[in-house]
Structure 1
Amino acid sequence: MKNTTGKKIWIVKNTYKKTQMIATELEKLCLAAGFIFDEKNPEIIISVGGDGTLLAALHYYEAQLDTVRFIGVHTGHLGFYADFQEHELTQVVEAIQNEKPEEAFKYQLLKVQIHFTDGRLKTHLALNESVIKRVSKTLVADVKISDFLFEKFRGDGLSVSTPTGSTAYNKSIGGAVMHPRVHAFQVTEVASLNNLVYRTLGAPMIIAEKDTVTIELENADDYLLTVDQLEYFYDQIASVTYSLDGGEISFVNGGHTGFWHRVKNSFIGEVK
């Protein structure tokens, strides 16, 4: 491995002992390659752990997504966003040495805008999904697609996911798996009530990139909103608006695993 001009990197890792050991070995290789460790203004974030570690890194550097790129090393179960395994640390360093920013893989992010009853507005970004629920009661909400009132939902909650997030919580509640090249997002019901009195579509909805989805809520003080692995308990929420204009996250193009290969490796395994 030859020395290279010093790219500014930072390693984000979880707290497991095995991960800490792998990250230490990777740090030595990165130093030998001439990389500069810069936590504040890195060019490349190396995530060592699982998908949760990478999601945590995304949210930590959320304000710098225009200038940082990510690369993942999974240290346990196969990570969906990680291209490299723990025995491929040399390849990680080589991928960073040879990467070209203009060739990075980019995934769209979901914008989550929370409108409060007092006029405040708060915005989050999600790589996987955002879910709105009530803590102790049935969620009752008007669902609007680009200001068109589509339905009144009653049930446990609603999940809104990106294409890359379609394989996460969305899949477990019956949503469709979407390729990231499909510029759309998805709304999936969580245990909806459907009977002679209450009626919802009862199926996942693929929403065009140009549209928004607004969930108008009843006045209550026990709403739980998740954004990827983060949880927020809010009251005085008037509505939550979802759109696919939250920008993008960039991944280093080096040893990148194709989407359907990831899906097969994660959920099916070897086909005989």
Structure 2
Amino acid sequence: MVLRIGIIHNQEEKSIRVLQRLRGLLAMKDDLEIVDRDPQLVITIGGDGTLLSAFHRYSHRLNEVRFLGVHTGHLGFYTDWRDYELPELVNSLSDEQGTSVSYPLLDIVVTSANGQHQHFLALNESTIRKGSRTMVADVYIKEELFERFRGDGLSISTPTGSTAYNKSVGGAVVHPSINAMQLAEIASLNNRVFRTLGSPSIIGSHEWIDVQLKSSGEHLITIDQLDINSKEVVSIKYKIADERIHFASYRHMHFWHRVKDAFIRED
């Protein structure tokens, strides 16, 4: 059986060189085929940003596609292979067993004042901000009002996204085997008049978060690499998606090894 492979890369000079070498190695294998449409495996060359782009490109085919990352810069959280390991990588593809490891995703619905709904999936995180002014929002967990938030904004992340912006605002690092999302406050306003929980919250897959905006004017909503600037958005609903992203597990690096390499290990 021939394995159909798609390749997505960034435009860095090193990534272009790796792309050319990878294409040459794949062409030598009769059971591997590079395709432009309907791949079974997507190889990304670059960093986590390149893999995020690939995820959103194929988000409509997550049950049919697995991902594999080759990093050409610093170690990423989604990229398992180094550029100098291409022969080993290509040989492992020929021993294809179809195995994979999957991670949770965010299911996001953005609602505008006219009742229009926009649906998104996020691999990492979503944030809501008000720019230079205080954001005011009612935060519901399931259908119950949890708090009225005042501050710079809110961050909602997946377990894999917990190592990104979420961590920088004091959120916990969560192992991706935990099917949950994390709500973290960004510079919340807490005094004798205004109170919020003031600490990150882990929300299970059977619950959802509904952020209803109460501050007027334009809000900035990010969904992974996508930015939405709008005066019309009135609410954003988050839950753990039914879909999951699947990574080819030829050699999938242990999550805590990634964390140690990214934040602790000294070279």
Query: TM-score scaled to structure 1, two decimals?
Result: 0.94
Partners of 1:143 and 1:219 in 2: CA distance: 13
Partners of 2:53 and 2:168 in 1: CA distance: 21
1:8-65 deviation line (CA, Å, top 9, x unaligned): 1111000110111111101111111232222221111001000000000000111111
User: Which residue is equivalent to 2:80?
Assistant: 83
1:38 aligns with 2:35: yes
Structure 2 residue matching 1:130: 3-state secondary structure: strand
Select the residue among 97, 100, 105 that pairs with 2:97. Answer: 100
Structure 1 residue 246: Cα displacement? 4.4
Structure 1 residue 144: Cα displacement? 0.4
User: Which residue is equivalent to 1:166?
Assistant: 162
1:229 aligns with 2:225: yes
1:148 aligns with 2:126: no
Structure 2 residue matching 1:109: 3-state secondary structure: strand
Select the residue among 50, 54, 57 that pairs with 1:53. Answer: 50
Select the residue among 245, 250, 256 that pairs with 1:254. Answer: 250
Asked if the contact 2:40/2:64 (under 8 Å) is kept, the reply is yes
User: Which residue is equivalent to 2:153?
Assistant: 157
Structure 2 residue matching 1:201: 3-state secondary structure: coil
Give the gaps of 5 or more residues in structure 2: none
Select the residue among 133, 136, 142 that pairs with 1:137. Answer: 133
1:9 aligns with 2:14: no
1:212-247 deviation line (CA, Å, top 9, x unaligned): 000001263411111112211122112100000241
User: Which residue is equivalent to 1:205?
Assistant: 201
Structure 1 residue 135: Cα displacement? 2.8
Structure 1 residue 69: Cα displacement? 0.5
Select the residue among 243, 250, 267 that pairs with 2:263. Answer: 267
Partners of 1:70 and 1:99 in 2: CA distance: 13
1:79-136 deviation line (CA, Å, top 9, x unaligned): 11111011111122123222323x2110111011111111111111111100011234
Partners of 1:270 and 1:44 in 2: CA distance: 34
Partners of 2:196 and 2:172 in 1: CA distance: 18
Give the gaps of 5 or more residues in structure 1: none
Structure 1 residue 270: Cα displacement? 5.3
Structure 2 residue matching 1:245: 3-state secondary structure: strand
Query: TM-score scaled to structure 2, two decimals?
Result: 0.96
Select the residue among 123, 126, 133 that pairs with 2:119. Answer: 123
Asked if the contact 2:104/2:180 (under 8 Å) is kept, the reply is no
1:111 aligns with 2:107: yes
Partners of 1:99 and 1:68 in 2: CA distance: 14
Partners of 2:50 and 2:9 in 1: CA distance: 6
Do the aligned partners of residues 110 and 89 (structure 1) sit closer, same or farther apart at CA in structure 2, a change above 3 Å counting? same
Do the aligned partners of residues 222 and 247 (structure 1) sit closer, same or farther apart at CA in structure 2, a change above 3 Å counting? same
Matched residues, number: 266
Partners of 1:180 and 1:144 in 2: CA distance: 24
What's the % identity of the aligned pairs?
Answer: 45
* RMSD after superposition: 1.4
Partners of 2:25 and 2:242 in 1: CA distance: 34
Select the residue among 65, 68, 72 that pairs with 1:68. Answer: 65
| Counterpart AA for 1:95 | S
Partners of 1:99 and 1:154 in 2: CA distance: 51
Task: Answer 1 or 2: which has greater strand percent.
Answer: 2
Do the aligned partners of residues 269 and 219 (structure 1) sit closer, same or farther apart at CA in structure 2, a change above 3 Å counting? closer
